[in-house]
Structure 1
Amino acid sequence: MIAGVGIDVVDIDRFEESLERTPAMRERLFTEAERSRPPASLAARFAAKEALAKALGAPTGMAWLDAEVVNEASGDPQFEIRGSVLARAEAIGVRSIHVSLSHDAGIASAVVVLES
């Protein structure tokens, strides 16, 4: 059963400008492992975290670092969740999180589907 769906899009150039203008934003939004990725990948990961927040019902107090986008050996993205994100997912009965990322033509996008 579907427990939640979220989608988000990010303008890659605008996102990169924001990261350059506010360097602390990188540490606030991304785990250490995520931070070294190129701008398009960071924008897609930010879109994924936004989409996850929407799918979870935009819970108050959700910590950005409690959701990390990692890649399986196949290259497919997946979420590793902990802390505030894990607590919310457990509260609404999430058993599985599906995430799809894309970036093309200056836009990064992500879709998240939660299964219970």
Structure 2
Amino acid sequence: MIIGVGIDVCDVSRFAETIERRPGLITRLFTPAEAEKSTASLAARFAAKEALAKALGAPSGMIWTDAEVITDGEGRPSFKIIGTVAARAEQLGVGTIHLSISHDAGIASAMVVCEQ
């Protein structure tokens, strides 16, 4: 059973400008491993985290770094969740989180499906 669905898009150049103005956002939004990625990849990860928050009902108090976008050996993305995000997923009965991310033509996008 589907618990929630979320989608988000992020303009990569606008995201880059925001990070340039407020570099502290990197540590607030991303884990150290994520922070090493390119700007386009960071924008896609930001969109993924926004989509996940929407799929989980967008509750307040979730910590951005409690959800990390990781990829397997074939490049398939997924989430590693801990803390506040894992607690919310457990509260809703989420057993599986499906993630699709992309970035092309200056736009990063992500879609998340949370399933029981």
Q: Structure 2-normalised TM-score?
A: 0.99
Residues 43-62 of structure 1: pairs in structure 2 closer than 5 A? 43-62=43-62
- Alignment partners' CA distance in 1, 2:73 and 2:27: 25
Task: List, as ranges, runs of 4+ consecutive aligned residues in structure 1 with deviation greater than 3 Å.
Answer: none
- Alignment partners' CA distance in 1, 2:59 and 2:89: 10
Q: Using the TM superposition, give the Cα deviation of residue 42 of structure 1 relative to its aligned residue in structure 2, in angstroms.
A: 0.3
Which residue of 2 is the match for residue 67 of structure 1? 67
Which residue of 2 is the match for residue 26 of structure 1? 26
Give the RMSD, CA atoms, in angstroms.
0.4
- Alignment partners' CA distance in 2, 1:88 and 1:114: 11
Asked if residue 81 in structure 1 is aligned to residue 81 in structure 2, the reply is: yes
- Alignment partners' CA distance in 1, 2:35 and 2:51: 19
Q: Deviations over 1:67-91 (max 9, x none)?
A: 0000011110000000000000000
Structure 2: tracts of 5 or more residues without a match: none
Amino acid at match of 2:89: A
Structure 1: tracts of 5 or more residues without a match: none
Q: Structure 1-normalised TM-score?
A: 0.99
Q: Using the TM superposition, give the Cα deviation of residue 12 of structure 1 relative to its aligned residue in structure 2, in angstroms.
A: 0.1
Q: Deviations over 1:56-108 (max 9, x none)?
A: 00011000000000001111000000000000000000000000001111100
Asked if residue 99 in structure 1 is aligned to residue 96 in structure 2, the reply is: no
